[in-house]
Amino acid sequence: MKIEDIINLQNKALNEIEAAADSETLEAVRIKYIGRKGLIPDLMKGLKGADPTDRPEMGKRVNELKNTFQEKFSERRNQIESSRTESGDKTFDVTLPGQWRGLGKKHPISYLMERAIDIFHALGFTVADGPDIETVFNNFDALNHPPGHPARDATDTFYLSDGDLLRTHTSPVQVRHMLKHSPPVRIIAPGRCYRRDTPDATHSANFHQIEGLYVAENVSLADLKGDLAHFAHEAMGPETKVRFRPHFFPFTEPSVEVDFSCHICRGDGCRVCKQSGWIEIAGAGMVDPGVFEAVGYDTGTVTGYAFGMGIERIAMILFGITDIRDLYENDIRYLRQF
Ligand code: PHE
């Protein structure tokens, strides 16, 4: 092998690169010269047989050949690529509309659940979980519902054939948690609930709640109000007001219903708040001693508050949704706007 052989091969290779008119031909040139069994690797193998005095010089030349080949090859490939796009090659029509890939978005209910978890997390609450299918004991008995309580009625509650039921609130998670953990307890439990309600603008047979439970020494109604007010301010803005109205629940004493001032009309009255300026968001109260007894807590040393907030209610005033059913129609055009 002589130095001329290298020079000849170089000239030939560069001419062929220059002459390649499309990427297929150019690729063939690449394989021919620097593919695994190409002419340049071949030449390198041939170096071994060259005259030892010429060998260093030849080695240098072959390396140069390889580098020059790579350089010219890339140049030519870029030329071919850009001329293809400029001339509107058949394989790529720049006038076609792009492929639209819809970006996903969280459902308003998921968004609010996650937001609520974050807010309560910052107050030291952890998330507890329970199943949608519950026992009568967890859903009613342990929560102090007397045998004839109307909520137990089959016209209000979905019973399964084995006697279990679809939980009517997230409160059974309180029971499950307290049976397994001793105080202090500070949990929230977000989840689905089921009631035999006829769907209308503000009712759905399947809705979502966030349960809260805080049991320790000296927990008071003031803690409840402070924590719910903090939640309202974080979730809906610092101007949101919170009010308690006396109420009754079998498992809390005293019990309250919690209203937030309407986010839409700022309390003036509108369609969403039915002109009252307030929206009922939660049921709450101090845990009834009867519940502590059912789960084996010492009523002499601990007190606790509990609340159950309706997520849909919050979504309605936060986003100005006038019909709860719109949340479940799964019309992406509608849901996308929140
Ligand atoms: N579970 C009650 C309901 O669904 C709300 C509630 C929770 C009330 C906790 C008091 C304490 O209406």
- Distance from Cα 71 to the centre of ligand 1, integer Å: 74
Residues 189 and 264 in one domain: yes
Domain termination site, one of 36, 52, 87: 87
Per-residue pLDDT tens listing for the chain (338 residues) = 788 888 898 999 999 999 998 889 999 999 999 998 899 988 888 888 888 888 888 889 889 999 999 999 999 999 888 887 666 556 677 888 888 887 888 999 999 999 999 999 999 999 999 999 999 999 999 999 999 999 999 899 999 999 999 999 999 999 999 999 999 999 999 999 999 999 998 899 999 999 999 999 999 999 999 999 999 999 999 999 999 999 999 999 999 999 999 888 888 888 878 899 999 999 999 999 999 999 999 999 999 999 999 999 999 888 988 899 999 998 888 888 88
Query: How many domains, the chain?
Result: 2
Cβ of 130 closer than 6 Å to ligand 1, yes or no, is no
| 224 and 305 Cβ atoms separated by less than 8 Å | yes
Cβ of 207 closer than 6 Å to ligand 1, yes or no, is no
- Distance from Cα 284 to the centre of ligand 1, integer Å: 6
Its domain, for residue 268, covers: 108-335
Domain termination site, one of 29, 55, 87: 87
Q: Is residue 174 part of a domain?
A: yes
Q: Is residue 307 part of a domain?
A: yes
The Cα 314–Cα 236 span in angstroms is: 9
pLDDT value, residue 86: 65
The Cα 206–Cα 196 span in angstroms is: 9
Can you tell me which atom of ligand 1 is nearest the CA of 284?
10
Residues 134 and 180 in one domain: yes
Residues 62 and 116 in one domain: no
Residues 83 and 135 in one domain: no
Q: Are strands 242-249 and 206-216 parallel, antiparallel or unpaired?
A: unpaired
Residues 26 and 143 in one domain: no
- Distance from Cα 250 to the centre of ligand 1, integer Å: 9
Pocket-testing residue among 171, 194, 258, ligand 1, by greatest number of atoms within 8 A of Cβ: 171
Domain termination site, one of 53, 87, 121: 87
Can you tell me which atom of ligand 1 is nearest the CA of 168?
4
DSSP 167-191: -SSSTHHHHHHHHH-PSPEEEEEEE
Q: Is residue 98 part of a domain?
A: no
Residues 83 and 173 in one domain: no
pLDDT value, residue 55: 85
Q: Is residue 101 part of a domain?
A: no
At 99, the amino acid letter reads Q
Q: Is residue 114 part of a domain?
A: yes
Question: What's the farthest any 2 CA atoms get from each other in the chain?
Answer: 110
The Cα 90–Cα 83 span in angstroms is: 12
Q: Looking at residue 170, which CATH number applies to its domain?
A: 3.30.930.10
Residues 74 and 114 in one domain: no
